[in-house]
Structure 1
Amino acid sequence: MDVDSSPTVLVIGGGATGAGIARDLARRDVDVTLVDRNGLSSGTSGRSHGLLHSGARYAEADGPEAKECLEENRILRRIAGACIRETQGLFVQLADDDPAYFDVKRAACEDVGIPVEVVDGQAARDELPDLAADVERAMRVPDAVVLPSRLVAANAADARDHGAHIYPHAPVTSMDREDGRIASVALGGEVDETVRPDYVVNATGPHAGRIAAMAGLSVEMRPTRGVMVSVAYDGLEPVLNRCREPADGDIVVPHEGEAVLGTTSVPVDDPDDYERPDWEVERTVEECAAMLPPVADAERVRTWWGVRPLYEPDEASRGGRGISRGFHLLDHADDDDGVANCCSIVGGKLTTYRQMAAATADMVCDRLGVDAECTTPEERLPGATDPDRLDAFVREFDGQGPTDADVVGR
C-alpha cells in the first residue's frame, strides 16, 4: 500500500474525535494521516446509544458543559444533515421520582439557555400514548439522534478530500522515542509500514493508556462498559429520558422501527475483554419499560456493549457516574518524562466531538507554527444532504458500528 511515510501529523484512532481532528487539520492545510485498527467507528463512537445531547442531561451538574453540548447540538444540526435525526427529547417524571429533581433540572436548563417546555402527564401521553400511566409530567428539550457511522465517515471523507490519508486497518504496533520525541511509529495490518510523523495525536478513547504506554507515557483511564438493547418498536419520536439522578436504564432512543434502550455503567479492566452479563440486559429493559411499558415484551433485535473513555483523575475528583463528561487535552510535553511531539485527547462525549477536535487541532497547529483558523463549525459535511452518499462513505472506510446498523445502508 502506498503510504505517506513522513506525515506532519499522525492521528491514532478513527472514532468521531480522531476523524474530526483529521478533518480539522486537513482543512487547515496540514498534512495528516489517520489510522485505526478495526475500521472507523469500531470503538466507542460506533457503539453508543446515538443520543445527540441538548445539554439537559448535564444541566444541574455542570452548566458550562451543558452549554457546550447545546452549542455543538446546534452546530451539528447545521452541518451534518442526514447524520442527524430531528426527534426532540422528553424528560419524564414518574410517580416514584423526586419532583424536586425535576424542578432543579428545569431551572438549570433555563439558566443555561436550553429551551424547555413542561407538560403534564396527560399531555405527554396524548403525544405518546404508550407512555407509562404514572408519568406525572414531562419536559421537552432539543435532544436529537445521531447516526455515528455516517458522522464519522463523513468527517473522514472531508479530511480525505482536503488531502488527508485514511487507513482504517492499520493498528499501531510500536513507537520509538529519540531525544524526547516520538521518532517513528510502526503500523501493522493493511499498511505494514513505519512512519515518521512530526507530531502524534492519541485519540484512541478507552485505549489511550495502552497507546500512550508505547511511547513511555502514562495516561490513566477508567473505562466503563454500558449495554444497549435495541427492540422492535415503531412510532417513538422523542428521545425519552428518566428525570432522576442518572442510573441504569434511563434512556430510550428512537430509531426507524426500533428503540434503543440504555444503559449501564460498570468498570472494566480491559476495554477489549470484559463480561457481558445477562443481568445488565434485563435490568436495562426493566428500567426502560417503567417509562415505556411495551418495550418489556418487544422483540429484542440487537444487543451491544460500548466502553466509555473516562479519564481516571477526572472521575476520581468528580465522584463517578452522573457527573458531566468533560474532555481533557493532555500535552505530553508537560509530563515529567515528557514527549515534545505528542498529545492525548480523552473523555468527552459524541455530541462534543467537533469541539474536542478543534481544541486538539488548535494546540497541534500552535506546536507546529501553523497559523490557520478552524472552519469546521461553518462548513457542511460532504454528503450531508444525500444519505446514499453518506452510506457509501461508511462502506469506503469500513465504518459500520452497531448503533445505527438498522438505518445505515438500508
Structure 2
Amino acid sequence: MNGDTDVLVIGGGVTGTGIARDLALRGVDVTLAEREGLSAGASGRSHGLLHSGARYAESDPDGARECLEENCILREIAGECVRETQGLFVQRAEDDPAYFEEKRAACEEIGIPVEVVDGETARDAVPGLADEVERAMWVPDGVVIPSRLVAANAADARDHGARILPHAPVTSMARDGDRIAAVHLGGDVDETLAPTYVVNAAGAHAGKIAEMAGVSVEMRPTRGVMISVVLDGLEPVLNRCRDPADGDIIVPHDDEVVLGTTSVPVGDPDDYDRSEWEIEETVAECATMLPAVADAERVRTWWGVRPLYEPEEAERGGRGISRGFHRLDHVDHAADGSERTENLVSVVGGKLTTYRRMAEATADLVCDRLGVDADCSTADSQLPGANSSSELDAFVREFDGQGPTDADIVGRNESG
C-alpha cells in the first residue's frame, strides 16, 4: 500500500508524540511511526522526574528556566500524567556546603521557589531520612508517569486527524535529488509513504534514521540503570545535593520508589552491557539518603539509553550538565559531506520535562517549510483524559505504550 502524508514523524516517544500532537492541532496531516509500542525508548525507561530546574540551576540557568516553565505548564495540562510531590535536595555531612549554597542562590536568581530547612526538620517531613543529612532544600520537583503522558499526546494527535502507527519500523528511504521521496514502514504496517516533510525524532536511534536518509547525526548515547523497590510513604523526590553522580535520585510512586541512576557510554543503543555493579552502586548511594532502600525488596530493574548529541557532549561534557535539545535542519550541506535534504529535520537531546517546548520549536520549523500559518496551542490545551487515570491507561493499552518506569501505577486500579 502506498500513501501520502504532509509530515511523517519517526519516533513514538514523548518528543515524537508531542510533535505529532502540535502539528495535528495546527491542522497538519501527520503520520507517526514507531518501531515498537509507544514509549519503548528513553521516555518509558526513565526515572520519571518532573524537573523544577533546580538540578541544573547553577550549571545552565537558561535550561533551568525552561524546566520551571514547562513544569508549570504540565501541571496545568497533564492531570493524572504527573504527580505534584515536591522535591528535596539533601546535604550530608560529607557534601560540600558551598555547592548547596551555590545551588540555592542560583535557584533564587532564576525564580525557582526554595525553602532551606535543617536536618531535623527534614527528617520530620521525610521519615527514614538519613541521620547524616545536615540540611535540605525544598524545590517544586514532581513525578511524570511517562506511559500516560506519551499515550495522551498520541491520542490527542489521533483525535485531530493524525495516524499513529506503533510497530511500524522504518526499513528504507528513497531520495529524489535533494528530497526524501519515499519511506517504507515494515512491521504491522508494510506501507510506503510519500511524505512532504520528515521529522526524525527517533531518540538514541536518530543517527541510524539519519543514515537511511543520507545525512549524518552524531549521537553519543549513554545508559542508565533504574531500580524499583518496595517502599511505602515517601512523598518528595529526593536528590543528593552534590555534583551529579551515580545513585543520586529517588523518585516516589505509590508503594514503590525508583532509584537512579548511572551514566555509561554505549556503542549501540540496542545492544549494550547491563552491569551488576551499576545496580549495586545505585542502591548503595541512594541508601545514603534513605537507608531503608538498601534492604528493600527489588521489584524490577531496567536500563534506559539517553539520546545525547555528540557535538554538545564533546563541547560541554561532564555528567550533570543540562542537556539542551537540538533541532537539526538538514537543508544545508553538512561539513562531513552528507547530502543536503530539504524536507528533513532531526530533533535530539533534551529532557522529558521540556518535551512540549521541543515539539513546539520543531513544529514551528515544519509549518514554516510547509507554508502553514498556525500558532502553537499545546501550552493551553489540556491533554485528553487528563483527569481520568482509567482513560489515560486505556490510551496506553491502545498504543501498546507501557514502559517499565510506571508499570506499578498504570492500570493498577482496573477491575478484573
Among candidates 392, 395, 406, match of residue 393 of structure 1: 395
Matching residue of 1:218: 216
Among candidates 172, 175, 199, match of residue 173 of structure 2: 175
Matching residue of 2:14: 16
Among candidates 250, 253, 258, match of residue 251 of structure 2: 253
The whole-number CA distance in structure 2 between the counterparts of 1:296 and 1:160 is 44
Shift of 1:179: 1.2
Matching residue of 1:349: 351
The whole-number CA distance in structure 2 between the counterparts of 1:38 and 1:335 is 32
Shift of 1:209: 0.2
Shift of 1:334: 2.0
Whether 1:408 and 2:406 are equivalent positions in the alignment is: no
Matching residue of 1:378: 380
Matching residue of 1:320: 318
Q: Is the 8 A contact 2:78 2:382 kept in 1?
A: yes
Matching residue of 2:308: 310
The whole-number CA distance in structure 2 between the counterparts of 1:402 and 1:290 is 25
Q: How does 1:9-408 map to 2 (within 5 A)?
A: 9-336=7-334, 337-408=339-410
**What's the CA shift string for 1:256-300, capped at 9, x where partnerless?**
100100000000000010000100000000000000000000000
The whole-number CA distance in structure 2 between the counterparts of 1:323 and 1:157 is 33
The whole-number CA distance in structure 2 between the counterparts of 1:4 and 1:364 is 23
Shift of 1:4: 7.3
Q: Is the 8 A contact 2:2 2:191 kept in 1?
A: no
The whole-number CA distance in structure 1 between the counterparts of 2:298 and 2:394 is 28
One-letter amino acid matched to 2:362: T
Shift of 1:335: 3.0
One-letter amino acid matched to 1:223: P
The whole-number CA distance in structure 2 between the counterparts of 1:18 and 1:322 is 24
The whole-number CA distance in structure 2 between the counterparts of 1:265 and 1:321 is 8
Shift of 1:319: 1.6
The whole-number CA distance in structure 1 between the counterparts of 2:270 and 2:333 is 27
The whole-number CA distance in structure 2 between the counterparts of 1:174 and 1:55 is 39
* Structure 2: tracts of 5 or more residues without a match: none
One-letter amino acid matched to 1:227: V
The whole-number CA distance in structure 2 between the counterparts of 1:361 and 1:67 is 21
The whole-number CA distance in structure 2 between the counterparts of 1:245 and 1:236 is 24
The whole-number CA distance in structure 2 between the counterparts of 1:297 and 1:191 is 46
Measured on the aligned residues, the alpha-carbon RMSD in Å equals: 0.7
Report the 3-state secondary structure (helix = DSSP H, G, I; strand = E; otherwise coil) of the residue aligned with 1:34: strand
- TM-score, normalised to structure 2, is 0.97
Aligned positions, number: 408
The whole-number CA distance in structure 1 between the counterparts of 2:70 and 2:4 is 33
Q: Which runs of 4+ in 1 moved over 6 A?
A: none
Shift of 1:106: 0.2
Shift of 1:151: 0.2
The whole-number CA distance in structure 2 between the counterparts of 1:98 and 1:149 is 37
**What's the CA shift string for 1:108-146, capped at 9, x where partnerless?**
000110000000000000011200001000000000000
One-letter amino acid matched to 1:214: M
